């Protein structure tokens, strides 16, 4: 008995006092050809600002909003990777990574470099942020990606191979071909496509495709593109952050809740649900990817890796499927090796809806002021880098780098989208403003340096970032006799421009002369009350004090500016030779005043009704276009979701989602006059549509388009209703449901109302579901004419009725739309004495052309909108015209200009002295009969004073030689594609002696150039 008892105690004791057993998990699994391979891809999705600012996310402050600290992610990752050489991780956002990297010791940096070299840590996507794809301009997308890619190249000598746009809300054609294939990416993965599209693609195993985003570049710029089956998170039940509630893998028999077999079964079931060889399959080949992570995960990386180690070990022991640590590169190679053919995808994945009432088309317009700020600074950054190059980069500063950094972050899919919290939006605006300030210094000192031919220039040039609200202290000066205002006007485009510029002045008695002393035709206009109110409030909000002075006038005059250069004009007080604008008022009458009012001093006339002041017609005597044309304003009332009953999920209109409840035309108030101001350069039509919508329409003598300047806001909400304000322009064009919108300001895509080419659309939201993002413009056509509208920022738009184009200009909503931002999109602006809803000022441009003639205007004028003339001012004494040694300048050969179909989209001296240039062909194949042809750029004439000693063509992000990129390119097989019939044209290699760059339609070519001597223009 005693012995037996002793034995029992011994046995139990053996079980309880366990022997120490160091468990080694076998995590070395590689791909197994005849099994289903589950690629576990550990990742963290780190938004560079959303609910918290980018810095708050990085350091982990403000955790009451969201417990997120990117520093923790990167800190905890390194030891976790070192603990097992089979573990892998991908990292995406370089804005965060560089914050961390610069704080690491040389020893830690060495370790991290080894992890990168060993393939354990891989940079993918690799831009400063994961940019949005709807509200972004392609030049910004290129710039922010270049920033990240060159940083990775410099620090690690690697080039990212994979596009990873897992969170943006829909996906653009430009992303696929330009920011994918042209970067040399092997593949591109994303999470958000329309729920109807996704369902069909799952059923047809068509989530993964070969995407040809460009009609012009065709198969030469295609990419393997994979939409995830659900989202970018792990399968349900496989979340392993330290506080997640998924069951961890408990494999210690000596402890309770041992669950290895259960977890293995869960894993196998989840894998088979995606697999190819059972009924419910959704993916081709025997490879599936599991995105093991989500927003701000891996703050304690060991819990993830500990559980994945165990899963790989036990699942592979089980043997039904093969689990492995992987990356999207390894996954892509496996898909490629399968020699499978993939469905061919063209056009894009817009708009995105995640359920029947939730079209994410509101964010195309959300926060229109931030969208405009980003666009203005984008063009400004381009110009600033040119001038920085002409003067020579100064390592002691100032530089354009901080603006590049701020703009890089601003392309993030929660910034320019308008889907961030208000305090975060403020933080981005602050960063942009700081970047602007430094770039302003670069521009002013460079212009002064060139104008004075000297680095010792005492010339001070000032600029006016608040010109849009009629606020410009440097031009609002009293010009007593002997004083003059010199205006330097810089043109960042590669062709000569002739335009009207407008500046606020304090006296109407001024004359304008060019740099030869010749008086220039000018026009004086009043600054109207609506603009004065905007100036008063917003100048106070921006500079912290109420603006002084007035009354104010606009002085408009015609300027001619050489390519990549400047002209100077002088404003002095004097007796005007030019006419002041003639003011006419037209009141709504009782219907007796039937005469039409024609407006416009040149070929183009807009016709207004004499009885109600409404726009009725459009006549251009030059190209014999005559059309009826009307304009109206309406608003949608944002649905608040309260009428939705189960099972329909309540859905409000908000920062992301556009869900109109109803539409209301905005009725003009009674007896509001339209005022016409006629002048020698242009006519203006002023209309006060309501107390909160003011509009000025301009028709220029020498331009064949009309310009609409709108001031919208504060949108009234005292009725408790959120509103989304649109304007519609209506013609008799029979566009048969068809219209065209641009992809990120580049290619135009055909859109058909209530239709998708990839699936049979079930229409649940006839307005919101037909909205598309617009960055350059929208147009429609019939057999005779085409009608185009160009925009000054990203907006949403559509053609809801035949003959009509609609643009959403502003939104103010009172309910959050339940997509995470947790704030209503109700922007207000405060000064010490008051807070008001945001007012937005902006411009639209429209034109009607004979069929086939519109592209020329959309492309060349579109480039002028992106790169407006840049004005700088200096008040001077003395009798000479200007005190400038060089009153006019061009950075290129004076006899040269770029071809009409080419833009120089980058000219930048890099920190290492190399010069980065990008040339972009502006036309698609077949878009214009004269300009959709190959173009040639003569670099010797572009850089007349320098000798090119080396020129290297690179990938779009300038991180590898183009030829190396082409050698590595994977050639994917698309179903039904006939390679022979697709002859794609591209420019040939650049001869180092002739130095001529050829560009085929829609081609962008990137070069790094070394010049023989220290950079100096002069």
The set of residues, in sequence order, having a beta carbon less than 8 Å from that of 508 and lying 6+ positions away, is 524, 553, 576, 580
Window contacting Zn ion (CB under 5 A); options: 167-175, 666-674, 729-737, 961-969: 167-175
Q: What minimum distance in Å lies between the beta carbon of 125 and Zn ion?
A: 12
The set of residues, in sequence order, having a beta carbon less than 8 Å from that of 982 and lying 6+ positions away, is 218, 219
Say whether 260 sits in a helix, a strand or coil: helix
Window contacting Zn ion (CB under 5 A); options: 166-174, 298-306, 479-487, 634-642: 166-174
> Binding-site residue total for Zn ion (CB under 5 A)?
2
Q: What minimum distance in Å lies between the beta carbon of 60 and Zn ion?
A: 18
DSSP assignments along 750-796, one per residue: EEETT--SSS----S-TTGGG-EEESSEEEEE-SSEEEEEEESS-EE
Q: Rounded to an integer, what distance in angstroms lies between the CA atom of residue 250 and that of residue 29?
A: 21
Q: What minimum distance in Å lies between the beta carbon of 47 and Zn ion?
A: 4
Q: Which is nearer to Zn ion, 295 or 318 (CB)?
A: 295
Q: What minimum distance in Å lies between the beta carbon of 96 and Zn ion?
A: 12
**How many residues are present in the chain?**
1018
Side-chain-side CA neighbours of 360 within 13 Å: the count stands at 28
DSSP code, position 364: T
The 3-state secondary structure of 292-311, one letter per residue: ECCECCCCCHHHHHHHHHHH
Q: Which is nearer to Zn ion, 47 or 514 (CB)?
A: 47
Window contacting Zn ion (CB under 5 A); options: 164-172, 239-247, 248-256, 456-464: 164-172
Would you tell me the crossing angle of helices 401-410 and 94-101 to the nearest 10 degrees?
A: 130
Q: Which is nearer to Zn ion, 167 or 953 (CB)?
A: 167
Question: CA 101 → CA 57, 125, 128, distances in Å?
Answer: 16, 18, 14
- Residue span 693-732 as binding mask against Zn ion, x where in contact by CB under 5 A, dash where not: ----------------------------------------
Q: Any long-range contacts for 312-316 (C-beta under 8 Å, 24+ apart)? A: 312/25, 312/26, 312/27, 312/29, 312/40, 313/25, 313/26, 313/27, 314/249, 314/251, 314/260, 314/263, 314/264, 315/38, 315/264, 315/267, 315/268, 316/26, 316/29
Q: What minimum distance in Å lies between the beta carbon of 838 and Zn ion?
A: 24
The set of residues, in sequence order, having a beta carbon less than 8 Å from that of 230 and lying 6+ positions away, is none
847 alpha-carbon distance from chain centroid:
25
DSSP code, position 183: G
Q: What minimum distance in Å lies between the beta carbon of 413 and Zn ion?
A: 5
Q: Name which of 152, 151, 131 is nearest 140 in CA terms.
A: 131
Q: What minimum distance in Å lies between the beta carbon of 282 and Zn ion?
A: 24
Contact set for Zn ion, span 30-59 (CB under 5 A): 47
Would you tell me the crossing angle of helices 70-82 and 94-101 to the nearest 10 degrees?
A: 70
Residue corresponding to tokens 């000192």: 445
Q: What minimum distance in Å lies between the beta carbon of 92 and Zn ion?
A: 10
Residue corresponding to tokens 């949108």: 715
Q: Rounded to an integer, what distance in angstroms lies between the CA atom of residue 541 and that of residue 177?
A: 42
CB 176 within 8 A of CB 151: no
Kindly give the residue spans of alpha helices, DSSP state H, lying in 61-215: 70-82, 94-101, 106-117, 138-156, 173-177, 195-203
Q: Name which of 143, 52, 248 is nearest 916 in CA terms.
A: 143
Among 140, 167, 639, 640, indicate the residue that binds Zn ion (CB under 5 A).
Answer: 167
Q: What minimum distance in Å lies between the beta carbon of 414 and Zn ion?
A: 6
Q: What minimum distance in Å lies between the beta carbon of 138 and Zn ion?
A: 21
Q: What minimum distance in Å lies between the beta carbon of 192 and Zn ion?
A: 10
Environment class of 940 (CB within 10 Å of its CB; exposed 0-12, middle 13-18, buried 19+): middle
Q: Which is nearer to Zn ion, 135 or 844 (CB)?
A: 135
Contact set for Zn ion, span 867-896 (CB under 5 A): none
Q: What minimum distance in Å lies between the beta carbon of 227 and Zn ion?
A: 16
Q: Name which of 533, 526, 626 is nearest 580 in CA terms.
A: 526
Q: Which is nearer to Zn ion, 296 or 364 (CB)?
A: 296
- Residue span 115-154 as binding mask against Zn ion, x where in contact by CB under 5 A, dash where not: ----------------------------------------
Q: What minimum distance in Å lies between the beta carbon of 319 and Zn ion?
A: 37
Question: CA 644 → CA 649, 661, 766, 767, distances in Å?
Answer: 7, 11, 17, 18
- Which two structure tokens, joined as six digits, stand for 212? 């040809």
Q: What minimum distance in Å lies between the beta carbon of 129 and Zn ion?
A: 9
Q: Rounded to an integer, what distance in angstroms lies between the CA atom of residue 483 and that of residue 993?
A: 51
CB 614 within 8 A of CB 685: no
Window contacting Zn ion (CB under 5 A); options: 51-59, 161-169, 234-242, 784-792: 161-169
233 touches Zn ion (CB under 5 A): no
Q: Which is nearer to Zn ion, 47 or 928 (CB)?
A: 47
Q: Which is nearer to Zn ion, 47 or 709 (CB)?
A: 47
- Which two structure tokens, joined as six digits, stand for 337? 């090796």
Q: Which is nearer to Zn ion, 424 or 916 (CB)?
A: 424
Q: Which is nearer to Zn ion, 198 or 413 (CB)?
A: 413
CB 587 within 8 A of CB 673: yes
Q: Which is nearer to Zn ion, 47 or 476 (CB)?
A: 47
The set of residues, in sequence order, having a beta carbon less than 8 Å from that of 454 and lying 6+ positions away, is 885
Q: What minimum distance in Å lies between the beta carbon of 124 and Zn ion?
A: 15
Q: What minimum distance in Å lies between the beta carbon of 90 and Zn ion?
A: 15
Residue nearest to Zn ion (CB): 167
Q: Rounded to an integer, what distance in angstroms lies between the CA atom of residue 706 and that of residue 709?
A: 10
Q: Rounded to an integer, what distance in angstroms lies between the CA atom of residue 479 and that of residue 501?
A: 19
Q: Which is nearer to Zn ion, 163 or 769 (CB)?
A: 163
- Which two structure tokens, joined as six digits, stand for 422? 């208000």
- Residue span 936-975 as binding mask against Zn ion, x where in contact by CB under 5 A, dash where not: ----------------------------------------
CB 218 within 8 A of CB 982: yes
Q: Which is nearer to Zn ion, 294 or 906 (CB)?
A: 294
Window contacting Zn ion (CB under 5 A); options: 165-173, 267-275, 475-483, 978-986: 165-173
Q: Which is nearer to Zn ion, 231 or 478 (CB)?
A: 231
Which residues are near Zn ion by CB under 5 A? 47, 167
């Amino acid at each position: 008995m005693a012995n037996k008892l002793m034995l029992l105690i011994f046995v139990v004791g053996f079980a309880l006092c366990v022997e120490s057993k160091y468990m080694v998990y076998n995590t070395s699994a590689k791909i197994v050809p005849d099994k289903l391979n589950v690629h576990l891809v550990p990742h963290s999705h780190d938004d560079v600002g959303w609910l918290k600012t980018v810095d708050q996310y990085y350091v982990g402050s403000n955790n009451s909003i969201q417990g997120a600290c990117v520093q923790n992610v990167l800190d905890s990752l390194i030891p976790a990777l070192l603990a097992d050489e089979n573990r892998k991780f991908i990292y995406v956002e370089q804005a965060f990574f560089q914050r961390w990297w610069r704080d690491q010791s040389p020893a830690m940096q060495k370790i991290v470099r080894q992890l990168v070299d060993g393939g354990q840590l891989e940079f993918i996507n690799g831009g400063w942020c994961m940019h949005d794809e709807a509200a972004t301009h392609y030049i910004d997308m290129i710039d922010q990606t270049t920033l990240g890619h060159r940083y990775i190249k410099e620090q690690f000598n690697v080039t990212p191979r994979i596009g990873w746009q897992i969170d943006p809300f829909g996906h653009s054609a430009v992303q696929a071909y330009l920011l994918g294939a042209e970067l040399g990416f092997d593949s591109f993965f994303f999470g958000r496509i329309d729920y109807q599209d996704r369902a069909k693609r799952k059923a047809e195993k068509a989530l993964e495709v070969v995407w040809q985003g460009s009609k012009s570049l065709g198969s030469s710029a295609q990419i393997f593109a994979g939409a995830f089956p659900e989202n970018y998170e792990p399968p349900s039940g496989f979340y392993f952050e330290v506080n997640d509630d998924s069951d961890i893998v408990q494999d210690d028999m000596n402890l309770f809740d041992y669950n290895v077999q259960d977890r293995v079964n869960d894993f196998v079931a989840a894998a088979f649900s995606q697999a190819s060889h059972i009924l419910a399959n959704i993916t081709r080949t025997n490879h599936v990817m599991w995105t093991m992570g989500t927003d701000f995960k891996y703050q304690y990386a060991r819990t993830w890796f500990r559980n994945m180690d165990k899963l790989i070990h036990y699942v592979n022991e089980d043997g039904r499927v093969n689990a492995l640590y992987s990356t999207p590169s390894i996954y892509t190679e496996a898909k490629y090796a399968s020699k499978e053919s993939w469905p061919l995808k063209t056009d894009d994945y817009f708009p995105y809806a995640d359920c029947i009432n939730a079209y994410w088309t509101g964010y195309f317009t959300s926060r229109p002021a931030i969208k405009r700020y980003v666009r203005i600074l984008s063009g400004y950054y381009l110009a600033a880098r040119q001038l920085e190059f002409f003067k020579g980069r100064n390592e002691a500063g100032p530089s354009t780098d901080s603006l590049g950094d701020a703009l890089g972050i601003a392309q993030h899919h929660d910034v320019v989208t308008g889907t961030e919290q208000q305090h975060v939006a403020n933080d981005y605006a602050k960063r942009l403003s700081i970047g602007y300030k430094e770039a302003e210094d670069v521009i002013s000192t460079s212009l002064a340096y060139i104008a004075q031919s000297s680095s010792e220039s005492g010339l001070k040039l000032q600029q006016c970032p608040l010109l849009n609200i009629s606020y410009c202290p440097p031009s609002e000066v009293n010009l007593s006799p002997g004083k003059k205002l010199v205006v330097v006007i810089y043109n960042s485009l590669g062709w000569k421009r002739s335009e009207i510029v407008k500046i606020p002045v304090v006296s109407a008695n001024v004359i304008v002369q060019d740099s030869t002393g010749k008086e220039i035709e000018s026009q004086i206009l009043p600054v109207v009350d609506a603009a004065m109110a905007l100036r008063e409030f917003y100048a106070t909000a921006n500079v912290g004090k109420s603006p002084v002075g007035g009354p104010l006038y606009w002085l408009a005059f015609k300027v001619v500016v050489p390519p990549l250069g400047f002209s100077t004009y002088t404003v002095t007080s004097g007796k005007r030779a030019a006419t002041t604008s003639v003011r006419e008022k037209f009141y709504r009458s009782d219907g007796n005043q039937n005469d039409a009012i024609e407006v416009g001093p040149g070929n183009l006339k807009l016709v207004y009704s004499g009885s109600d002041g409404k726009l009725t017609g459009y006549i251009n005597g030059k190209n014999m276009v005559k059309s009826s044309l009307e304009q109206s304003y309406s608003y949608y009332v944002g649905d608040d979701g309260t009428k939705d009953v189960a099972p329909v999920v309540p859905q409000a209109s908000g920062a992301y989602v556009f869900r109109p409840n109803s539409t209301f035309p905005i009725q003009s108030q009674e007896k509001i006059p339209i005022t016409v101001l006629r002048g020698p350069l242009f006519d203006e039509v002023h209309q006060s549509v309501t107390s909160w919508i003011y509009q000025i329409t301009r028709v220029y003598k020498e331009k064949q388009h009309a310009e609409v300047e709108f001031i919208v806001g504060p949108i009234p909400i005292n009725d408790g209703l959120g509103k989304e304000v649109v304007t519609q322009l209506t013609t008799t064009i029979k566009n048969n449901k068809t219209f065209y919108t641009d992809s990120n300001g580049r290619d135009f895509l055909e859109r058909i109302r209530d239709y998708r080419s990839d699936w049979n659309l079930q229409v649940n939201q006839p307005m919101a579901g037909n909205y598309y993002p617009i960055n350059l413009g929208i147009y429609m056509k019939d057999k005779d004419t085409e009608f185009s509208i160009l925009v000054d920022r990203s907006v949403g738009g559509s053609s809801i009725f035949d003959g009509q184009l609609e643009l959403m200009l502003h939104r103010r909503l009172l309910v959050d739309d339940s997509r995470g931002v947790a704030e209503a999109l109700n922007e207000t602006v405060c000064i010490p004495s008051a807070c008001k809803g945001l007012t937005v000022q902006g411009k639209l441009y429209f034109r009607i052309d004979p069929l086939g003639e519109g592209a020329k205007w959309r492309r060349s004028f579109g480039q002028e909108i992106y790169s407006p003339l840049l004005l700088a001012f200096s008040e001077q004494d003395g009798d000479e015209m200007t005190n400038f040694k060089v009153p006019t300048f061009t950075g290129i050969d004076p006899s040269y200009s770029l071809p009409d179909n080419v833009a120089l989209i980058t000219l930048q001296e890099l920190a290492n002295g190399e010069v980065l240039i990008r040339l972009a062909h502006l036309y698609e194949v077949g878009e214009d009969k004269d300009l959709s042809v190959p173009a040639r750029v003569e670099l010797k004439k572009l850089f007349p004073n320098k000798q090119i000693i080396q020129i290297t063509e690179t990938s779009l992000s300038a991180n590898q030689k183009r030829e190396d990129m082409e050698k590595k390119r994977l050639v994917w097989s698309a179903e039904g594609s006939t390679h022979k019939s697709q002859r794609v044209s591209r420019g040939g290699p650049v001869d180092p002696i002739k130095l001529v760059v050829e560009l085929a339609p829609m081609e962008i070519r990137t070069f790094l150039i070394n010049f023989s001597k220290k950079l100096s223009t002069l």
